[in-house]
Structure 1
Amino acid sequence: MLNKRKRRNARSSENFSAEEIARFDKVAETCRDPEGEYTTALEFNRARTAIMLHEICHHFGRSHDKDNAFHDLNILDVGCGGGLISEAVATKGAHVTGIDASNISIEVARRHAEHEGLAIDYKHCLVEELDNAQKFDVVINAEVVQHVADQADMIKDCVRLVRPGGMLILATINRTLTSYLVTIVGAEFVMGYLPKGTHSWRKFVKPRQLDKWVGRDFYKTFKCGMTMNPFNKKWRRSKGMRVNYMQCYHYAEK
């Protein structure tokens, strides 16, 4: 058991580089500011989270209009950052666990949840550190896999934490020429929607790679892309998945 724990801790320390964590530490305090420099990213998250909530309702046969629709669901938000997604699902009554490699982000998330009166279990840890005994109805991994060294292992760790009958939600960036031009050249260097150096194109993930890492015990129930209206800066779902995209999977009962 001790050797297993040592191997797990060693892998944890290697998967997120100190540089990546420092980058997220730097923006932790400002990423939630609706009047700040990252308002476009906030609007993107709002639109994407609305799609996630809709898909969770659809998966479990819940009414989106009910305030307490997720009251009996345990949901894990991997790489929760400042808690934007965690809070959205918690307001629907879910029991939420949010984890992140950045301790500063976790502290920001905790303070904001307390201010909003939300009981969210925030932990400063990585997904590979969570025990197999704890299973979740929904595991969400949004915009995280493109920041880690061992991407396949991260996805497999998310997979092992989904209970039979549960769902896995993955959101990331496709590795295409379009994504390089839009996400790195456009969003980081031209428009300043994101801090420079946020992404590495080589770490972007093609949809079929996610399917392979998730494995055959899960089947895909939903997929979509995200596009922004350049005039009003509003995001919406789209069929095109050449840049940002989301895929939902169902863990079939055995």
Structure 2
Amino acid sequence: MTTQPITTEDQRETAKFDQLAHQWWDPQGPMWPLHRLNALRAPFVTQKIQQHFNAVSLKGLRILDIGCGAGLLAEQMAKQGAKVTGIDVAAKNIGIAHEHAQAQGLVIDYRCGAVEALADIDDFDVVLNMEVIEHVNNLPLFMARTCDLTAAGGLMFLATINRTWFSWLTTIVGAEYILGWLPRGTHSWQRYVTPEEALLSLQQGGLSVQSQTGVGMNPLRQQLFLTGNMRANYMMVASKT
């Protein structure tokens, strides 16, 4: 009898995002909320990295973007001089990411696979764990591996959605079914992760949370902003000693 290897990949999630691959870079298409989010999170990430490393740029820093999709955040980091590796389980996403980066004259090491496929010798100054943990299988394994990939003295950015009634009403009922801002089935409320659960996973992996913030949206202007309210989307910044 052969046993199946343990993986953090959910093949249904992979297939879902593969279908969206060719629309990823369309700011008016079904991924437009991610474009708005990227406009908020990219400068947030940059500022926190510069503060942590006491640096004026990201030049030379090794950054891993987990669940990179078609490269929205990875490209923002590469444009600032970082050595970026992007990994995603959706092969079509990686194909689009390669093509788009080449068209922009950017060198990004894109890999198709789950996070556990990265070699044990790999570690990174910065790990971007953004909007992905609510889409994986075996969350404890996924978090343990991402913590391992964070170098001593490095940072991890974690962004996800809190598991509350408010998040169910806003991110699923509202965003997917009433307003149609996201394709139906994009999220599963049961997979959402509370800040307490995220904090525990980070601590078990040897990381300490340095800051956290909620992410809110003005539905009339379709604008995102940082807030102290973490009832739905939130971000954490954690360091490894």
> Which interval holds the TM-score relative to the shorter structure?
over 0.9
Q: Residues 110-169 of structure 1, C-alpha deviation per residue, up to 9 Å, x if partnerless?
A: 000000000000000111111121110001111111011211111110000111100111
The residue type equivalent to 1:46 in the other structure is A
Task: Say which of 101, 106, 109 aligns to 2:94.
Answer: 106
**C-alpha distance in structure 2 between counterparts of 1:40 and 1:171, whole Å:** 15
Once residues 213 and 192 of structure 2 are traced to their aligned partners in structure 1, the CA distance between those partners, rounded to angstroms, is 16
Among 14, 35, 49, the alignment partner of 1:21 is: 14
How far apart are the structure 2 equivalents of 1:180 and 1:83?
27
The answer to whether residue 190 in structure 2 is matched with residue 194 in structure 1 is no
Correspondence for 2:213 among 217, 221, 224? 224
| Amino acid corresponding to residue 48 of structure 2 in structure 1 | E
> How many pairs were matched up?
239
Which residue identity lines up with residue 231 of structure 1 in the other structure?
A: L
Shift in Å at residue 218 of structure 1?
1.5
Letter matched to residue 5 of structure 2: A
RMSD, aligned α-carbons: 1.4
Matched AA of 1:247: M
Q: Which of the residues 41, 58, 62 maps onto 2:55?
A: 62
Secondary structure at the aligned position of 2:210 is classed as: strand
CA distance in 2, matches of 1:237, 1:218: 23
Residues 4-49 of structure 1 show CA distances to partners (whole Å, capped at 9, x for unaligned) of xx98x7112xx32221111000111112102324323311222122
Question: In the alignment, what sits opposite 1:48?
Answer: 41
- What is the letter of the counterpart of residue 119 of structure 2? D
Mapped to 2, the partners of 1:130 and 1:38 lie a distance apart of: 27
SS of 2:77's partner is helix
Normalising by the residue count of structure 2, what TM-score does the alignment of the two structures yield? 0.95
- What corresponds to 1:156 in structure 2? 144
SS of equivalent to 1:197: coil
Aligned AA (2:222): K
- Matching residue of 2:191: 203
Q: Which runs of 5+ in 1 are unaligned?
A: 1-5, 64-68
Distance 2:47 2:170 in 1: 27
Q: Secondary structure at the match of 2:190?
A: helix
1:84-163 map, 5 Å: 84-163=72-151
Q: Which amino acid aligns with 2:226?
A: R
Separation in 1, partners of 2:114, 2:215: 27
What is the match of residue 234 of structure 1? Answer: 223
Aligned identity (percent) is: 37
TM-score, scaled relative to structure 1: 0.90
| Aligned counterpart for 2:5 among listed residues 5, 10, 17 | 10
Gaps of 5+ in 2: none
Shift of 1:208: 1.1
Q: 1:26 to 1:219 in 2, by over 3 A?
A: same
Task: Answer whether contact 1:41 1:193 (CA < 8 A) is retained.
Answer: no
Residues 157 and 237 of structure 2 are in contact (CA less than 8 Å); yes or no, is this contact kept in structure 1?
A: yes
